[in-house]
């Protein structure tokens, strides 16, 4: 197991589009384990491979209270969605920034689990938000891109300044 470094906005690598996983081999299983460890340690409720600079369609999520329900989704897709909810979001790649984002309230998700078995489930509430947030990462999109250009510029300036101080 290993903790992986998390890319920070505005790193251009956060905008790469991840490719589907063709075969779930040992390297993918190791990636999933390391991503789960990294997510729990952060701590966060989700992590996309893009955030650890691996551009493959792999996400891990755990929205349970006691962090006992790891969900691994490989090649995830939303096959149905409806409704709208607004949630205050944060992101491990955009530390210290929280803002409201509007997303679908209900989603139907199709993916492979870590054994390569096809799974399909319904999600609402926070789990639905998290799945949409993570699939956005795989498509190279960070949650701040749902905000106004003005807010994006302010966030970018703030994090660039912070990076200069901590460097």
- Regarding 89 and contact with ligand GNR (CB under 6 A), the answer is yes
d(CA 41, CA 124) in angstroms, rounded, equals 25
Nearest-CA neighbor of 14 among 158, 120, 141, 149?
141
CA 71 – CA 78 distance, rounded (Å): 15
Q: Report residue 68 as tokens.
A: 């006992």
Is residue 60 within 8 Å of residue 32, measured between CB atoms? Answer: yes
Q: Which of 45, 87, 91, 111 binds Ni ion (CB under 5 A)?
A: 91
For ligand GNR, the binding residue among 18, 21, 24, 48 (CB under 6 A) is 48
Size of interface with ligand GNR, in residues (CB under 6 A): 17
Backbone angles phi, psi at 26, to 5 degrees: -60, -35
Note whether 77 and 111 are within 8 A (CB). Answer: yes
60 φ, ψ to 5°?
A: -125, 145
* Residues contacting 92, CB < 8 A, separation 6+: 6, 39, 42, 44, 47, 51
Least Å from the CB of residue 135 to ligand GNR: 10
Contact region with Ni ion (CB under 5 A), list: 68-76, 79-87, 90-98, 100-108: 90-98
60 sits near Ni ion (criterion: CB under 5 A): no
Q: List the single partner that 45 binds among Ni ion, ligand GNR, none, CB under 5 to 8 Å by kind.
A: ligand GNR
Q: Using the rule CB under 6 A, is 45 a contact of ligand GNR?
A: yes
* Residues in 123-152 at the binding interface with ligand GNR, rule: CB under 6 A: 129-130, 133-134, 137
Contact window for Ni ion (CB under 5 A) among 18-26, 89-97, 120-128, 155-163: 89-97
**58 near ligand GNR (CB under 6 A):** no
- Chain residues that interact with ligand GNR, rule: CB under 6 A: 44-48, 51, 87, 89-93, 129-130, 133-134, 137
């Amino acid at each position: 197991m290993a903790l992986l470094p998390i890319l920070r906005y505005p790193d251009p690598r956060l905008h790469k589009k991840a490719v589907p996983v063709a075969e779930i081999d040992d390297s993918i299983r190791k990636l999933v384990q390391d991503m789960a460890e990294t997510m729990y340690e952060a701590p966060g409720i989700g992590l996309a491979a893009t955030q650890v600079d691996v551009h493959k369609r792999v996400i891990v999520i755990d929205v349970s209270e006691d962090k006992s329900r790891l969900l691994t989704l490989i090649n995830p897709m939303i096959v149905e969605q409806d409704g709208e909810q607004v949630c205050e979001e944060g992101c491990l790649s955009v530390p210290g920034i929280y803002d409201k984002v509007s997303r679908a309230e209900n989603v139907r998700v199709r993916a492979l689990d870590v054994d390569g078995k096809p799974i399909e489930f319904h999600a609402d509430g926070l789990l639905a938000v998290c799945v949409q947030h993570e699939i956005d990462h795989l498509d190279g999109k960070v949650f701040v891109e749902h905000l106004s250009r003005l807010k994006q510029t302010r966030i970018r300036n703030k994090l660039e300044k912070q990076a200069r101080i901590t460097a």
